[in-house]
Amino acid sequence: MFILAISPILVILILMVGFRWKASRAGGLGYLAALLISWIWFGINLETLAYAHAKAVFLIMDVLLIIWTAFLLYRVVAEAGGIEILSTTLPHLTGDKGMQALLIGWIFASFLQGVGGFGVPTAVIAPILVGLGFSPLNAVVIPSLGHTWAVTFGSLGASFNAMMAATGLGWEVLAPSAGIFLGITGLLVGIAVAWVVGGWKTFRKLWIPILVIAAGMSTAQYLTATLGLWNIGGLMGGTAGLIIGIPLAWLFHGKNNSSGKINWRELFISLAGYGVLVLLTLIIQLVPPVKTFLSQVKLGFIFPETITGSGYIVQAGPGRQLYIFRHAGMILLVSSLAAYLIFSKAGWYKEGALGRILKSTGSRVISSSVGITSIVMMAVIMQHAGMTDTLARGFSNTIGWFYPVVAPWLGALGAVMTGSNANSNLVFSALQLRTAEILGLPVAIILAAQTTGGALGSVAAPTKVIVGASTAGMEGKEGDILRKLLPIICILLLMISLITALTVYLL
Amino acid sequence: MNKITAFLKSHPALYYLMVFLLMIIPSVLLYPAADGESQIGTIFFLGLVILANLVAVFPYNSK
């Protein structure tokens, strides 16, 4: 039964990694496999299937609303030239290669992950680093590593939201541990970036800024996420990094500092859209009357208890509820509109900008939306059929006390195979939760290990490596990138495994 | 029908949007169908979701 239960996941893994299928295709076959196996071997009935599908819709919309609107906001800013201004301004701050890598490949990459994600950090930064004289290989590897720690709370919290949706647990439970694990990862990737540039020599030279920046970014992300503002956790981490990193870059400016070219007014306007986002999120989350007023409309069903032919019961209760007017997606949509108006007023758009923004947003997100829909439906069917429970029991029986060491690798595997931390969280979070419950392990720690592993693994996903390679002029040399990236990712994963085990068994 | 097919083939975003809606809308309708104990309705809407996933499995071909 364990082999049958894991088959839909294996189908997706094999098709995406082995046959390079897109998530939209592989997800469809994974869904069909889950449907067939749950019906023939796990005794799922028509009624349970119907409720599982309806429940999945709310999970899907919860995740997709953020993904759609986060990319819309990114396109609104990019179309106005805001991202280009940031990209051209930052290199002028320092001529030191190590500091440039930290400022652009670590801090700015994290900021871009906070606001955009979807492979944007590497795609934007790799050409900048090539232009600054970095080798194309390092130009891809540096931002790929640099933004990993910001993936979960980045993309306006899409991956973290996916974990909450898949487990049914709130941010109060999940954010503290995830914030700490990702914060530690932030320091580790900062060290890794310095090492890639010039080995331990660069690290020894820049260890003070690395420590200061890592502490600032990690603390900002942790505090934001644990205050309930998880959708701007990555954004605030990246912003804190820029606030701390820019003066530090002046201190470690090297020989070719040409800071006179910076236009601070332009820089300020280019960040206006994200300023509106932070302001709206703070108002909604921290002013109770506003939150109460916006919470009046919610979408959702109350689901009855379901039982399969083999006796697996899912308790009755509400599924995921969408508070539509205070949803992170709605805040992003309003921020996008505000940013569009600001840039229009400032005359930053060329003719036909609105059409280009909407077209590029639609074409970029809709294919992945199909994949996410199939994968979430598959995961919910597996949960309702008892397949996830079977997997969890199998893992707990075979791996047992060693499970905390395995948990981050499972998250990483999910991210490599599905191409994203969010998808990994959708596929594996419920399994990790159930396994932790069966083994009596702290659920929040295991899920923090899941999402940290997912964040690290996501940068080694074939799709992201291909995007990075194409923007740095390394088409066809994806293997070289993976050969340099994978050992570093594996070392970081080993460290997270160790931290997970120590946290579970010693603290 | 041929015109619709040709149009969708030249607009990949619209093609994926159709597949996405074919997955989502019948899935929502499965709740009232199951709640009203309508077996035919449940089978019909479930069939549509399965069809959408089958369509998704085949590669998008713009030719």
What residues in A contact B58, CB-CB < 8 Å?
A: 25
Q: Is A302 helix (H, G, I), strand (E, B) or coil?
A: strand
CB contact under 8 A, B56 and A27: yes
Contact A375, A162 (CB under 8 A): no
**Interface residue of A367, A368, A375 to substitute, partner B, most B CBs within 10 Å:** A367
DSSP H stretches of helix in A105-232: 109-115, 120-131, 136-146, 158-167, 171-226
d(CA A99, CA A258): 14
Give the DSSP letter of residue A45: -
CB contact under 8 A, B53 and A32: yes
Closest CA to A331 of A232, A223, A227: A232
Q: What pLDDT is attached to residue A222?
A: 96
d(CA B63, CA B60): 9
What residues in A contact B8, CB-CB < 8 Å?
A: none
Q: What pLDDT is attached to residue A267?
A: 77
d(CA A127, CA A205): 25
Q: What pLDDT is attached to residue A179?
A: 95
Torsion angles phi and psi, residue A46, rounded to 5: -60, -45
Q: What pLDDT is attached to residue A29?
A: 92
Contact A113, A238 (CB under 8 A): yes
Interval B12-39: pLDDT, tens: 888 889 999 999 999 999 999 999 989 9
Q: What pLDDT is attached to residue A41?
A: 92
Q: What pLDDT is attached to residue A261?
A: 65
d(CA B39, CA B27): 14
Beta-ladder partners of A323: A298
Interval A307-319: pLDDT, tens: 998 888 887 877 7
- Residue A437 CB-density burial (10 A; 0-12 exposed, 13-18 middle, 19+ buried): middle
Task: Give the chain A residue whose CA is nearest to the CA of B40.
Answer: A46
**Interface residue of B8, B17, B31, B54 to substitute, partner A, most A CBs within 10 Å:** B31
CB contact under 8 A, A50 and B17: no
- The packing angle between helices A2-13 and A403-418, to 10°, is 40
Contact A361, A118 (CB under 8 A): no
A445 touches chain B (CB under 8 A): no
- Cross-chain CB nearest to B27 (options A28, A35, A56): A56
User: Which stretches in chain A have pLDDT values below 50?
Assistant: none
Residues 151-170 of A with CB under 8 A from B: none
Residues 6+ apart with CB under 8 A from A76: A273, A336, A339, A340, A343, A357
Q: What angle do CA B54, B57, B59 make, to 5 degrees?
A: 130
- Contact pairs from chain A to chain B, CB under 8 Å: 89
Closest CA to A234 of A108, A420, A101, A55: A108
- Cross-chain CB nearest to A366 (options B13, B33, B54): B13
Q: What angle do CA A467, A471, A475 make, to 5 degrees?
A: 75
Q: What pLDDT is attached to residue A166?
A: 84
Contact A106, A189 (CB under 8 A): yes
Strands A313-314 and A306-307: antiparallel
d(CA A214, CA B47): 51
Residue B49 in this model has a pLDDT that exceeds 80: yes
Q: Which helix (H) or strand (E) holds A318?
A: strand A317-318
How close does chain A come to B63, measured CA to CA in Å? Answer: 18
Q: What pLDDT is attached to residue A460?
A: 82
